[in-house]
Amino acid sequence: MTEESRLLAGRYQVGELIGRGGMADVHRGTDARLGRTVAIKLLKPSLATDPAFRTRFRQEAQAAARMAHPTIVRVFDAGEETIRDANGHEAQLPFIVMEYVDGRLLKDIIAAGPVDSAEAVRISQGILTALEYSHRAGVVHRDIKPGNIMITRTGQVKVMDFGIARAISDSSATVAQTTAILGTASYFSPEQAKGESVDARTDLYSTGIVLFEMLTGRPPFRGDTPVAVAYQHVSETPEAPSRINHKVSPALDLVVQRALSKDRFDRYQTAAEFRSDVESAGAGHVPIHKPRDAFADTLFGAPPSVISGPEAALRQLANDETMVRTQRRPPVIWVWAGIAAVTVIVIAVLFWVFRLTPNNTLPATSRAVPSLAGQVFDKARLQLENDKLKWTRTDEASSTVAAGNVTRTDPAAGIIVSTGDTITIFVSSGKKAATVPDVHNMPLADAQNALKAAGFVPGMVNMQDDPTVPANVVLSTTPAAATNGHEGDTIGLNVSSGNVLLPSLVGQSVQGATGILAGLQLKSDPQPDSTCPGTLVNSQTLAPGDVPQGSVITFTYCAAPPSPPSSPSPTG
């Protein structure tokens, strides 16, 4: 029985594959009992063999199912289905039935380039609204990233996978193991990277990463390995988004800076506080720090910088001059001995930290999808087979990659998958055929846009004289309209200069000169010259060469009467 024909729990019909991630596959499905379309997430069998993981996963799915909010993708059901592996052994496969959302993943929107600041603010508000609801319900997402955020066709923000990240985090001991499941460390908080406990402020840090990526088109930290990226979260300061995208306002820079603070007590303490500052920055106002939210104190306690009551009392006693010290100070040698001991310990710890080698080792059943773009198909296929990965081939047109070479893969390079998973290899079939559009009589700018829309590259502009077509209007293209070509070809443009080439009229008859000017759409203004005999043109006001269309050309022609013949002299 194939996955597409599987019936789960006697009611959920598994349909076509609509998404693939590092830890699960998502199918469109049908709830046969209620007759509605749903999304069914099937966990990879390699992740479902741990009974402890299955138990935590089921508990978290049940917690997520209790949350009902317009900005959160609802979880309708969860369970386990008994399947048989390749060796015929029975295994339990966890599944989750969720609300089906018709829209696009935020990561696909960002892949097209930076998001407009106003739209980034609106999407951030939706994410933070969902987090405010879940945090007050006691649920921390732990895996906020563009791949877990959907934007519906009407623009509604939907946050997915509540509860799943908690199960993964609880069952993972190291950064390397965690990234093998999540597929990327780009959205880790510093405390996640260090293996410390996490709370709601971890989600706010990840939301700050998502906001940064929407504004700039890329995450703030990038590296060759997940561990290298995690190290940057702990030790590196991100650039201001405005240094990458100059359209970003200083107010949004400040919001991102605070959201990405390494110390969680310096970050936004609640989603509501974060959302309020995002709204202010989106309106062009610089956010002002507000008093601490009492709700945040109930969640996390006071920060280490806040002096407790007993400590404040001790400081007051220390400053009280009426108090008499009854205990002798410790000997000075012991004080210096203590300082020396602490110094040695600090130096030893620093030496140990700098000698740490990042652990890039993946579990034996996991593989990072190799970078195959640009390779010949056969070489790429062999590389996947050597990594114990299956493959399928899909051809697509490409204006940049030579025919027969790989353009991309799905999942993309660097994503962590399990051995035996199928990777789709997209292979270039060459440039896509296209027909040169007819752009004559179009303004130059419009014609260039039309060529770009058809997949061509506007080329050299050749200015030509024409008596009727206005200046900067296209006369023709090279190659001509309706010629067959390929996307990416360069098309030259012949454009009217707005001038006419005026010839010399001298020596022409008045009728001939008038006819020449009429053919060039120029106006004639003949003037007689009584100083010279004959009827031919003897001068013109504008010299031969380029003249503006519709110009008036004044020329003079000889009009003196011919001299009378002389009388013969009388003979004697």
Give the catalytic positions in this structure: 143
Alpha-carbon distance of 237 to 465, in angstroms, equals 59
What is the maximal distance between C-alpha atoms in the chain? 169
Which candidate, 20, 417, 458, 71, places its Cα nearest to that of 275?
Answer: 71
DSSP notation for 455-512: T-EEEEEEEE--SSSPTTBEEEEESPTT-EEETT-EEEEEEE-SEEEE---TT-BHHH
What is the spatial distance between Cα 45 and Cα 148, in angstroms, rounded to a whole number? 21
Residue 486, phi-psi category: left (phi > 0), alpha (psi -120 to 50), beta (remainder): beta
Nearby residues of 120 by Cβ (< 8 Å), 6 or more positions away: 211, 214, 215, 252
Tokens of 503: 């010839």
Q: Tell me the C-alpha distance between 525 and 224, whole Å.
A: 78
**DSSP string of 60-76, one letter each residue:** HHHHHHT---TTBPPEE
Angle of CA points 61, 67, 73, to nearest 5°: 75
Nearest to 428 by CA among 374, 382, 471, 475: 374
Angle at 480 between CA 475 and CA 481, to 5 degrees: 90
194 secondary structure, DSSP code? T
Non-local CB neighbours of 526 within 8 Å, separated by 6+ positions: 510, 513, 514, 554, 555, 556, 557
Report the C-alpha dihedral over residues 162, 167, 170, 175, rounded to 10 degrees. Answer: -80
Report DSSP state, residue 101.
-
Phi, psi angles (nearest 5°) of residue 447? -65, -40
3-class state of residue 299 by DSSP:
helix
Q: What are the phi and psi torsion angles at 197 (to 5°)?
A: -65, 150
Task: Answer whether the bond into residue 411 is a cis peptide, omega within 30°.
Answer: yes
Asked if residues 432 and 399 have their Cβ atoms less than 8 Å apart, the reply is yes
What CA–CA distance (Å, rounded) separates 439 from 462?
Answer: 15
Q: Is 244 exposed, middle or buried (0-12, 13-18, 19+ CB in 10 A)?
A: middle
Judge whether 58 and 81 are in contact, CB under 8 Å: no
